[in-house]
Structure 1
Amino acid sequence: MNIDLHAVYARHPAAPSGTSALRGVSLALRAGEQVALIGPSGAGKTTLLQVAAAALKPSRGQLLLEAVDPWSLRTAALQRLRGRLFMAPQTPPLPPRQRVITAVLAGRLPAWSLATSLRSLFYPVDIAGAHAALERFDLAEKLFARVDRLSGGERQRVGLARALLAPATLWLIDEPLSALDPTRSEQAISTVTEVARERGITLMATMHQVDTALAHFDRIVGLRDGAVAFDLPTAQVSRDHLARLYAQHEAELHGGAPVESALPPDAPQPAVMHCR
């Protein structure tokens, strides 16, 4: 799915009136492209995902999905369009008494009829599909467990497994690794990017793990204060780009820390080449 944002302003619903989380953001993703959004907390990353998901209407500017303004559509058409994308929040909204298999199969809902959806609540329609999706995240043994018996990291991986079953051509994933240890993080992001690449799915993910973003995404967009600080192929993102991106935030936290100390601790060291 193609995404185009043109000079978008948007306010987070919880923000004070008149405060914009996004300020004139212009961004374009072509079908099958994978982009990581990085930046300090409060930079507008989650708000940008909500705008791209047609869940939050811009106060100014325009969002186009496949060259269509979703906010110009009638309700039924807008719902069909939303059925073609998958939004994974940082904390998946999983009912605590629900079985994991039911939570994962919820990814299929946009493609199912009402009758199939209701039947699957009592007799899961695609057990094999749910098992295969969970297996990619090393959670197959949790297939029939209750959600309230899972750890926070397991719930996060269940939310990602749901994406594998969704009939979506756009994945919008918010902080997918926040509750995962390094080993699980590597497994999860590798699975998400590999499956998206295999299926030609457009992927936009927000991340605080800078080194992981640089290792798994071909394009990095840095957000700061609701605006695009840089939009570059990963190979062109330098230590200076990252230092400037996080400098203002770190200075505010630490009372004017120098730029060098603003670089995230997991950012890669620059490669030094000596030519003769």
Structure 2
Amino acid sequence: MELRQRYKTVWLSDIHLGFKDCRADYLLDFLAKTECETLYLVGDVVDLWALKRSLYWPKSHYEVVRSLFKKASTGTRVVYIPGNHDEPLRDYVGHILGPIEIKREAIHTTVAGKRLLMFHGDCLDEHMRLSKWEDLVGDAAYDLLLFLNRWANFGRRRFGRNYWSLATYIKQRIPNARQVISVFEEAAIREASRRGLDGVVCGHIHQPALKKVKGLLYCNDGDWIENCTLLGETYDGTLELLQWTEHQTLLQSMTGNGGRATADVLPMRRVG
């Protein structure tokens, strides 16, 4: 029997379909091997910014869209929360795109009873206080990181090595980048606290995380450009942060009572 993952809830964001560095191949493998009751798409699913610059839409990107619609049509509740790269879809908040619900934000209650605020995260950009020059330099530096990441993994494949995010490795070692990430996380937690909620699930900054910040739960499901990560909720209320490339790796796990664990290799769950 085929082995699959079964989750109660799955969160994906920052897929960036239409962008040349989107890892649609890994995402398609995940979608083919995963079942869930509810799938939240937490923004930047389609990169309209990239498509405006140049038309790039390979078959694998079309197949991702087809797979998402198929899931939504065959029993999975799919909720789409647009981000800044697919912002025009916010004009359709409150409507249904075929079988997919479109919301500006939402609140998810976990099996353990935790109420989590969900938004993409670009609403927190004002807290970054970046000047226009810093913003432009950041974009140029990020494009360079992705270029290096692309060629580093091309070389790794040639030698039979697994995918590895050079871009994330470098970012984690730049003090200014770490500071921006920390400011973003604290701003997200403040917003959840202001609303009297237990935590937040977001994307936007391409930095996957599952942790407690000031007593609240901070979840960032990452992206499908640098990290190929997602967040899943099991039927016993455990939250899992996974990386899905040639191998499926459990990066962080947090039980319903807030306990935390880590693991190296993700055990597959049998459906049925």
Q: Same fold (TM over 0.5)?
A: no
**Higher helix fraction: Structure 1 or Structure 2?**
1
Which has the larger Rg?
A: 1
**Higher strand fraction: Structure 1 or Structure 2?**
2
